[in-house]
Structure 1
Amino acid sequence: MTTLSRLDALQLRASVGELADLLIDTVHSGASIGFLAPLDRRAAIAWWEGRTAAVSAGRLAVWVARGEGRLLGTVGLVFPDKPNSRHRAELVKLMVHRDGRGQGLGRALLKTAEAEAVAAGVTLLHLDTETDSPAESLYRSAGWTRLGAIPDYAASPSGELHPTTIFYKRVGAEAAPLGA
């Protein structure tokens, strides 16, 4: 059985080893999520430890999926700190371990982040993902709107430049069509 839960700062700090292992697996399986391969475990741990302050301050929310006694996936929402942008958030670092793929974990994490965004008063979500990646089809099938692509936006884990696709999704009351 898989459980999804939101981590507070203490839980995040206690989970950095597992989160680092997930990050390494994701990078080493070819996902372009901001890191180059090979990703050193110390660097992966340091990156996750660096998120603790943002979670403490409420600028970042992190959810994890656990199953079979281990961490299998994660997703985050970054909340802007400017007064004119508090209605939106960025979906970040949706990752599912190779052993957990194909079981609906990515979709479950995405739905959880969307629902929690609505509960937090967010009406607009946005994200970027490598163009033509498996993640792109997940977002499309989950009702996200493709805005466009930016060429040579980010390097893949192997260092090759790839385009990224920008998506957005209206959520909550703002997602309903006018007159509904």
Structure 2
Amino acid sequence: MKTVRLDATRLLAEAEELAALLVDTVDGGASVGFLAPLDTADAVAWWRERAGAVAAGRLAVWVAHDGHRPAGTVGLALPDKPNSRHRAEVVKLMVRRDARGRGLGRGLLATAEAAAGACGVTLLHLDTETGSPAERLYRSAGWTRAGVIPDYAADPHGVLRPTTLYYKHVGAARSAG
């Protein structure tokens, strides 16, 4: 499967296909910030709204294609404040339900980690629904559990669920000067 980093133009061109991936992820029960059922038009609009952040360099998005449609995606949100340029957040790691179990999520995560390290980021963080399959992925990929926040986010059915925070050191350590 080929993984590519999207620029803003390509993100806009693929917004409908990415929306189908997002809808599939939410329909599959993943807590990625949306309630089910997620309207496709709303998912397309959400992806299109990301184009500005991609163009500005505040968000990097990679997509893995399975033929001509996205099988998975991951994002890296980069802060714009001077005191936080050493860190980034892994966001919206999603794999289409029929593409799961083949290492795609792990590959996308590794892509984001490597890209973060290459651009000088030394600390990554993320959050995920406590008890979700994603937790096993993060732990097995060397991420450290920082703690749990109860009732942090609603799952796709609107039920408040706890969220686990994770972090991982990547790249070369830099000293504050």
Give the structure-2-normalised TM-score.
0.97
1:35 maps to amino acid: F
Q: Which residue of 2 aligns with 1:114?
A: 113
The secondary structure found in structure 1 opposite 2:152 is strand
Give the structure-1-normalised TM-score.
0.95
1:55 to 2:54 alignment: yes
Q: CA deviation at 1:172?
A: 1.1
Q: How does 1:1-180 map to 2 (within 5 A)?
A: 2-174=1-173
Q: CA deviation at 1:67?
A: 1.4
The secondary structure found in structure 2 opposite 1:174 is coil
Q: CA deviation at 1:70?
A: 1.7
1:87 maps to amino acid: H
Q: CA deviation at 1:146?
A: 0.1
How big is each residue's C-alpha offset from its partner over 1:122-144, in whole Å with a ceiling of 9 and x where there is no partner? 00000000001000010000000
1:162 maps to amino acid: R
Distance in 1, Cα, partners of 2:62 & 2:14: 11
How big is each residue's C-alpha offset from its partner over 1:127-175, in whole Å with a ceiling of 9 and x where there is no partner? 0000010000100000000000000000000000000000000001239
> Unaligned 5+ residue runs, structure 2?
none
- Taking only the aligned residue pairs, the percentage that are identical comes to 69
Q: Which residue of 2 aligns with 1:178?
A: none
Distance in 2, Cα, partners of 1:75 & 1:56: 16
Give 4+ residue runs of structure 1 displaced > 2 Å after superposition.
none
Distance in 2, Cα, partners of 1:48 & 1:70: 15
The secondary structure found in structure 2 opposite 1:17 is helix
2:2 maps to amino acid: T
Distance in 1, Cα, partners of 2:76 & 2:172: 19
Distance in 2, Cα, partners of 1:142 & 1:14: 32
Distance in 1, Cα, partners of 2:18 & 2:133: 21
The secondary structure found in structure 2 opposite 1:25 is helix
Q: CA deviation at 1:121?
A: 0.6
The secondary structure found in structure 2 opposite 1:173 is coil
What root-mean-square deviation, in Å, do the aligned CA atoms of Structure 1 and Structure 2 show? 0.9
Distance in 2, Cα, partners of 1:17 & 1:148: 36
Distance in 2, Cα, partners of 1:25 & 1:50: 19
- Indicate if the aligned counterparts of 2:35 and 2:157 stay in contact, CA closer than 8 A: yes
